[in-house]
Amino acid sequence: MKKNYSLILLSSTLVLTFQANAAGTLVQEMSKMTVSTAGAGSAALAENASVAYSNPAGMSYIEGDALSVNAAVMDLGIYYHDDTDSSLDSDNAGGIQPYGSIYYVHQLNDDVHLGMSVSAQGGSALNYGTDYAGALTLNDLKLSVIQFNPSVSYQVNNKLSIGGGLQIDYASFEESLLYGQGNIETDSWTLGYNLGLMYQIDENNRLGIAYRSRMNHDLTGLFSSNTMTVSVPIPGPIPGTIDKDISAKSGDTGLNVLNPRQVEVSGLHQLTNPLSLVWSVGFEQWSDNDSTTISINDGNRISQIERNFEDVWTAAIGARYQLTSRLRLESGIGYASSPLDEPESQGLDLPVDTQHRYSVGATYQWKKDISFNTYYSYVDYGDPEINNNGVIGQFDNSNQFIGITLNMSFK
């Protein structure tokens, strides 16, 4: 009976913990190198090797070979404020986290280009500690999703190019829960694909469309925990609690996490000689993420929860001004709707709300074949409310990104 109870508790805890993990994939700044314009123009710009990821069709605009290397840090702020007792608040669960990506394009002939991207798709490291309201459910976690994305483009004619690629994801997840007494380690590989189209209307105007398929991670690994005592509600007409010792010890665990299909339409418009306008609108099918399934000890215990996610709409607009022959200034603002507005369905790993992006940056042409792009972006992740498993309060979430990308061409 003691063993069965611990499996039930761990199973329900796992479900609550993984409710919002996929929200980490909303961190587009980790993979798309249009951070300086808040993501605007991502599917239409084709100026360096990072287009191999954002829209493989754009590789047709690269002459010769090209390499882009990005190095950046993000400063994630996740603060929980409890509505019932301020002593159950958390300090900042986020912090400064480095990341990077690399992109390469090779011109095979006049019509065909090959590309490879290695980039972070999302993830975070959070540490709430063991003294806040949700310490039973989550103490700290490390989530990482890395994607290998080989791709190819074909120049149909002087206006139209098409492209596609294979998405190979590796995800790893580590977590501490149960007041620091439980530990989970899981990982997985999964496959998907991406498609792109780019159309040059005239010398001053270009459109692009990029599509990324659904990626379903079936994470598998181990859980372990030490013996601990918890208070358990007593069913019946007279409410009360009793203390029970639980010990899950160790065993296999598995769960699914979905990264939904995405489509983005972008434009590039050269308004005057120094000034260009870029924009993007996008759709992410988060409603396809209908439930999370948890299995423990090879299916001996299975739990499922409805997630109540809604589809996400995104929009961004930016401007780029060629200040000198070598220096271009860039800025943009962006918006993403919330995939989840119900406090009863929020999770502690990354509670989600609407997002507002504010970005600035610059591109400097150091030499003929070498340029640098630097950027800063502030993202307001909103103030989502939570009323889930006894955690009743509100979050104050934001993120800051600063980075530099080295772009090289080899003709």
- CA-nearest of 135, 123, 96, 139 to 187 is 123
**pLDDT number for residue 165:** 97
101-153, pLDDT tens digit by residue?
999 999 999 999 999 999 988 767 888 888 888 887 788 888 888 999 999 99
Q: Which helix (H) or strand (E) holds 10?
A: helix 2-17
From residue 113, give the alpha-carbon distance in Å to each of 106, 166, 407. 6, 15, 17
Report domain extents, the chain.
2-410
Q: Mean pLDDT, to the nearest integer, of 200-220?
A: 92
> 15 has which bridge partners?
none
Q: How many CA atoms lie within 13 A of 265 on its CB side?
A: 3
CA distance 224 to 180: 11
31-68, pLDDT tens digit by residue?
899 999 999 999 999 999 999 999 999 999 999 999 99
Q: Which fold has domain 2-410?
A: Porin (2.40.160)
pLDDT band at residue 407, thresholds of 50, 70 and 90? very high
254-302, pLDDT tens digit by residue?
667 778 899 999 999 999 999 999 999 999 998 876 656 666 665 555 5
How many residues belong to the chain?
411
**pLDDT number for residue 18:** 44
From residue 26, give the alpha-carbon distance in Å to each of 52, 200, 338. 19, 29, 11
